[in-house]
Chain A
Amino acid sequence: MTCQRCSREASVHLSETVDGQRRELHLCGPCARKAGLTPPDPPPNAALEAIVDHLIVQHVGELVGELARTSCPLCGLKFMDFRTGGRLGCPNDYEAFTPGLLPLLRAAHGASRHVGKIPRKRTPPSRSPRLRLRARLREAISREEYELAAAIRDQLRQEDADQ
């Protein structure tokens, strides 16, 4: 099928119903872009997101109900947000969502245990005091407790200055 605006092969096909009238639109990539019907570039990680979503559906099916109620206490990410976006919110999510993540990691990597380089310094993320402080800061702001928020912010600044 050729593009309705030029003679190239159409790659974008749209149909809509306006006032009971069905309209069809067939455009080539460049014309569709010109008409603002497609994003200028494919999102860079579309493929990865699809993979993650697929893996979640396939491998944590029964757990989904329970996981849907789980969220990370430090960054507030809900497991369902992760499922939609394919991205975790903070280092602590690997602990918060372990039952949901392990099957996924096994499916994606064929393994669930790290072998390889180990940094010389290590801070368990869930015990990272600053990550916790930042979580409290966000909470304080959301509850409109601005005095508490200011105090936490000062404490964070002080620690940054000491670093």
Chain B
Amino acid sequence: MNLDALTRTSGEWLRGTGPESDIVICSRIRLARNLADFPFTNRASDTEKTEIERICRATMDKAGLELDYQSVVNLDALDRQLLVERQLISRELSTGEGPRGVAIGPRENVSVMVNEEDHLRIQVMNSGFSLADVWEQINTLDDQIEEYLHYAFNPQLGYLTACPTNVGTGIRVGVMLHLPALANTKQIEKVFRALHKLNLAVRGLYGEGTQADGDFYQISNQQTLGKSERELIRNLSEVVPQIINYERQARQEWIGQRRQHLHDQVSRAYGVLKTAHTISSSETMHLLSSVRMGVNLGLIDDLEIRTVNELFIHTQPAHLQKIQGEPLEVDERNIARAGYIRRRLASDNQAAEERE
């Protein structure tokens, strides 16, 4: 895989299509798996990690999975960051130590991390709200890999993982939601409290410790033991539609009570993005969030959701520097970011005009 090409493309999960894709950006499932014959990554020597890497790569080849393997050790810091921004690897894999890597599917919907916290972290990600599809894909993938490996498994405790918070099914089921209206009206706090009671975790776009920039929230299960994969998926699948409804209601109330204000906010956000000459990452996320909601509410009609989704990712620091082809300081990035957004919006507007 040519990593530079990632700056010109977008993953399947950014397509902006699929069920409920006005609010659900993507659905993702991850499985944590370990080889029975090795210590977990944190306790393995570099020799053992090399061996684990070799076995996992060979397995993916034997299973005929058409994945492109990148050894993270061989990537420079910018490329690693690019993969993090792209949600293809975790920050932990990016900054880890010793032999490790990731195998990526052609449409970026599959990624298999090797020697992350667990030997294997298998991930499948689809655009929109489609957990059942994602489960089907990842379950098959897991079977194909298992065909050539001995997973660490114990009849009482299930799949054994480095951290006991993942043991059992080893599954993390998540959806990424765009909730600008709930965030704006502070009702999001209520949602958090309710989710917490249901044993579900809420995080920002780039995982723990990051703020929910752009009003994106990842909701995922915390329990992995004592319930089957399907039950855990069902739990989340039942909750998400309620949050979607809640967000839609909040948007309708907002537009009903303060239509002019909302329209003004959305148009101003769009205006700033179209004309700014320097813009920070956090202002960009904030404005794009308004614009994204504006498109979904029909307040903006010459812009595609896909473009907005891509802008969220392509304006991140590593993407920008790859696009510019040189390392940039913060101030330079802010200028490059504004320029990139202006060009993208201008060409999208032009495309919209030509379609008419």
Binding site for B on A (CB under 8 A): 41-48, 51-52, 74-77, 85-91, 94-95, 101, 104-105, 108-125, 128, 130-131, 134, 160
Contacts and interface: CB of A to CB of B under 8 A. Distances in A.
A44 B209 contact: yes
Interface of B: 34, 36-40, 42-43, 48, 51, 90-92, 95, 117, 139, 142, 146, 149-165, 167-169, 171, 199, 207-209, 222-229
Nearest to A56: B164
Nearest to A43: B209
The prevalent SS among residues of A at the interface is loop
A44 B150 CA distance: 28
B209 A110 contact: no
Contacts of B153: 118-119, 122-123
B226 A109 contact: yes
A52 B161 CA distance: 14
A87 B36 contact: no
Q: Is the interface of B mostly helix, strand, loop or mixed?
A: loop
Contacts of B142: 117
A71 B90 CA distance: 30
A117 B169 contact: yes
B168 A104 contact: no
13 contacts: A41-B95, A44-B209, A75-B39, A94-B157, A105-B157, A114-B157, A114-B167, A114-B225, A115-B228, A116-B158, A117-B159, A123-B152, A134-B37
A125 B169 contact: no
Given A48-B163, A109-B224, A121-B150, A116 B168 contact: yes
B281 to A, nearest CB: 13
A134 B263 CA distance: 65
Nearest to A127: B36
Contacts of B90: 44
A134 B36 contact: no
A76 B150 CA distance: 22
A131 B38 contact: yes
A60 B169 CA distance: 24
A101 B168 CA distance: 13
B209 A121 contact: no
Given A87-B43, A121-B146, 20 more contacts: A41-B209, A44-B209, A75-B43, A85-B42, A87-B40, A90-B39, A109-B168, A109-B226, A111-B223, A112-B157, A114-B169, A116-B228, A117-B158, A117-B169, A118-B153, A120-B146, A122-B153, A125-B36, A134-B37, A134-B39
A114 B150 contact: no
- Of residues A48, A85, A108, which shows the largest number of chain B Cβ atoms within 10 Å of its Cβ? A108
Nearest to B227: A115
Contacts of A94: 154, 157, 160, 167
Contacts of B43: 75-77, 87, 89-90
Given A46-B209, A91-B154, A108 B164 contact: yes
Nearest to A49: B163
A111 to B, nearest CB: 2
A67 to B, nearest CB: 14
A115 B209 contact: no
A125 B154 contact: yes
B273 to A, nearest CB: 24
Given A87-B162, A111-B227, A46 B152 contact: no
A77 B43 CA distance: 8
Given A47-B208, A113-B226, A104 B164 contact: yes
Contacts of B161: 88
Given A48-B165, A121-B150, A160-B51, A116 B229 contact: yes
A115 B167 CA distance: 11
Contacts of A88: 40, 161-164
Contact of B223 (A86, A110, A117): A110
Contacts of A119: 146, 151, 153, 159
Nearest to A81: B43
Contacts of B169: 114, 116-117
Nearest to B91: A44
Contact of A47 (B40, B209, B229): B209
